[in-house]
Chains A and B, each alone.
Chain A
Amino acid sequence: MKFWRTPLDIDKLQIPRGELHILKERCKGCAFCVEYCPKGVLELSEEFNSKGYHPPVAVKPEECVNCDLCEMLCPDFAIYCVRTEAGEKEVTT
């Protein structure tokens, strides 16, 4: 991760990790999650759900930082993140 200023507590920082859960059948394909994921984890899939929408798919699931933004923006309660154990130290400057 790049910083415009190196945080003073850089050695203590841990980047949280999240596991994405997509409830494909509930999705209405608005793409809010895709657009606003700060890490660009998601893309709309080619696949259709039974309502004919393209649900998102995690193309870079390992990048998810469990920020919950997708979960909060989703108008259809179709996506959520769960914080995973891994909070590995991989902060670089």
Chain B
Amino acid sequence: MSAKVEELIKEEHPMERLLRMDRIPHIWCPTCGLGTTVTALSTALEQLQLDLNNVAVVSGIGCTGRVAGYMKLDSFHTTHGRAVPFALGLHIARPELKTIVFSGDGDLISIGGNHFIHTARRNVDMTIICVNNFIYAMTGGQVAPTTPLTAKAATTPYGNWEHPFNLPLLAASSGAVYVARWTALHVRRLTAAIKEAISKRGFSFVEVIAPCSTLYARINKLGTGLDLMKFYHDNSVIRHGADLNDVDIDFQSKIVVGKFVDIEKPTYIDCLNEGGKRAFGDKYKPYGGGNGNN
């Protein structure tokens, strides 16, 4: 099938410079917000005019985990929840690379939650793009740590009775220096936020609220992916610098979006060098990368 589609498509899409066209069409369902978010990242990278040889994408498992496989960059598809520590190792070995972790809410915040908070605490210079669709989609729509209270999922057939995480608050209180949230509908603002996050030195976090029509919308009777986009249109409230205690997402509630945190703080490698200098004075040679390349 895919070979046939490729034959039928002769034209080149402008994103092709950043996508592995030999793997497109992707596996994501119709109306999934992931493709849009990938476009936002690709556009951000184009606009930043970065040397694409120096950008690496790391992702974990799940629908969002597949992003690494579609981006035409050095890309790593790791195990469930472990994208962040893998990226940490890669970043320390090659600090000159822009390391971007692109993963889902369940992957980053549930199974990878510990890695997420500790990497934020260390302020490791990387960008995390967390696509939050409120559900474990790849495995069939089970409850996630982001599923709003009362929302249904495959494993909460009577409605979720656990409190979800407020991701911007979690990221900021763990030490992230840049925190923003947008929906897949806010493509331009999302692109701008990803640009800022990538340019930011330190642990930057962008949450993207994205439609999952196949599972989240269907089980909760919210209509199509387009209906979810319309919902974002009608219910997103842009509030830059909002008090993060107020940005919880309840079931079908208003969604506060915006840039919440943008502060300066020494990164992990800054602190490493600071510590080295403190201990050894002039004898210490600042660390600039593995194998003494830098």
* Residues of chain A whose beta carbon lies under 8 Å from any beta carbon of chain B: 21, 23-26, 28-32, 35-36, 50-51, 53, 69, 71-78, 80
Q: A25-B5, A26-B24, A72-B36 are known contacts. Are A77 and B31 too (CB-CB below 8 A)?
A: no
Size of the chain B interface, CB-CB below 8 angstroms: 35
Most buried by A among B1, B14, B34: B14
* Cβ–Cβ < 8 Å partners of A28 in chain B: 29-31
* Residues of chain B whose beta carbon lies under 8 Å from any beta carbon of chain A: 1, 4-5, 8-9, 11, 13-15, 19, 24-26, 28-36, 39-40, 43, 184-185, 187-188, 191, 224-226, 229-230
Distance in angstroms between the alpha carbons of A75 and B24 in the assembled complex: 12
* Cβ–Cβ < 8 Å partners of A76 in chain B: 25-26, 30, 35
User: Per a CB cutoff under 8 Å, which of A35, A50, A73, A80 touches B13?
Assistant: A80
Interchain nearest-CB distance for A14 vs B (Å):
21
Distance in angstroms between the alpha carbons of A58 and B184 in the assembled complex: 23
Q: A30-B31, A32-B31, A35-B229 are known contacts. Are A75 and B9 too (CB-CB below 8 A)?
A: no
User: Per a CB cutoff under 8 Å, which of B8, B33, B184, B187 touches A69?
Assistant: B187
* Cβ–Cβ < 8 Å partners of A74 in chain B: 35-36, 39
6 closest A-B pairs (Cβ-Cβ)? A75-B35, A28-B30, A30-B31, A72-B187, A25-B8, A25-B5
User: Per a CB cutoff under 8 Å, which of A36, A50, A77 touches B24?
Assistant: A77
A73 touches B187 (CB 8 A): yes
B226 touches A77 (CB 8 A): no
Interchain nearest-CB distance for A16 vs B (Å):
16
A30 touches B8 (CB 8 A): no
* Cβ–Cβ < 8 Å partners of A80 in chain B: 13-15
Given A35-B226, A72-B191, A78-B13, 5 additional A-B pairs, CB 8 A: A51-B5, A75-B34, A75-B36, A76-B25, A77-B15
